[in-house]
Amino acid sequence: MTFTRLDRSTPADWDRIAHESVEAWAIVPDRILGMLRSLAGITTGFAVDQLVHGLQTATRAERAGADDDLVVAALCHDIGKAISEPNHPAVAAALLTPYVREEVAWVVLVHQDFQGRHYYAHLGKDPSARDRHRDGPAYPLAERFADEWDQASFDPDYATLPLEHFEPLVRSTFAAPRRL
Ligand SMILES: [Fe+2]
């Protein structure tokens, strides 16, 4: 019998919960892959859908010699759009935070402000939005992420690698959190 209210739980209950929670880590890679697949068909006016955009961003990062944390972050940086566009960078950063080094999660968190240099003027927003992150932990990396990989990755004619290529990296990255 387990408890029905927290104030009646016991140390033995919490031993069991801790054990089963660690076992549940095993489903995370498949959940992430499922969320990525669900981005297929979300086009919203762009030349490629959000799955291809993430794959292309990751392909460019990998071909530029980026390390595994950056490649998986490139693949997943817009994964929040599987649910909704507003606040999607924070959703993606929160998903990545336990699994990649801190500065990489930060790059994802702020990526839209860095992207803004390339299109915010069309929306009447400040193209210099990235300047407010000058004192952040990885400003040059965030510039490279946005300017070289993310903002360039809406090209249907680019030789984008398929999700299967990145699947081993997704499985190893999300196998277990590095930080709880
Ligand atoms: Fe993007």
DSSP string across 116-167:
GGGTGGGGTS-TTGGGGGTTSTTHHHHHHIIIIIITT---TTS-PPPHHHHH
Q: What is the DSSP letter of 10?
A: -
45: left (phi over 0), alpha (psi -120 to 50) or beta: left
Per the structure block, which two tokens stand in for 133?
A: 């992150």
Q: How far is the CA of 110 from the centre of ligand 1 (A)?
A: 11
Ligand 1 centroid distance, CA of 153 (Å): 8
Q: Ligand 1 centre from 27 Cα, in Å?
A: 26
**54-107 pLDDT, tens digit each:** 999 999 999 999 999 999 999 999 999 999 999 999 999 999 999 999 999 999
Give residue 126's pLDDT.
97
d(CA 93, CA 143): 17
Mean residue pLDDT of the chain comes to 97
Residue 111 near residue 145, CB atoms below 8 Å: yes
Model pLDDT for residues 131-151, shown as the tens digit of each residue: 999 999 999 999 999 999 999
pLDDT bracket for residue 2 (50, 70, 90): confident
**Token code pair at residue 72:** 């998986």
Centroid of ligand 1 to alpha carbon of 151 (angstroms)? 7
The two three-digit tokens of residue 62, written as one number: 């990998």
Place of tokens 């006016």: 45
Task: Output the CA 176–ligand 1 centroid distance in Å.
Answer: 25
As a whole number, mean pLDDT of residues 158-165 equals 98
**Gap between the Cα atoms of 157 and 53, Å rounded:** 12
Rg, the chain, Cα only: 18
What are 21-64's pLDDT values in tens digits? 999 999 999 999 999 999 999 999 999 999 999 999 999 999 99
In angstroms, what is the span from residue 152 Cα to ligand 1's centroid?
9
Residue 28's pLDDT is what? 98
Question: How confident is the model at residue 23, as a pLDDT?
Answer: 97
Task: Give the per-residue pLDDT at 163.
Answer: 98
Residue 108, CB-side half-sphere exposure with 13 Å CA sphere? 32
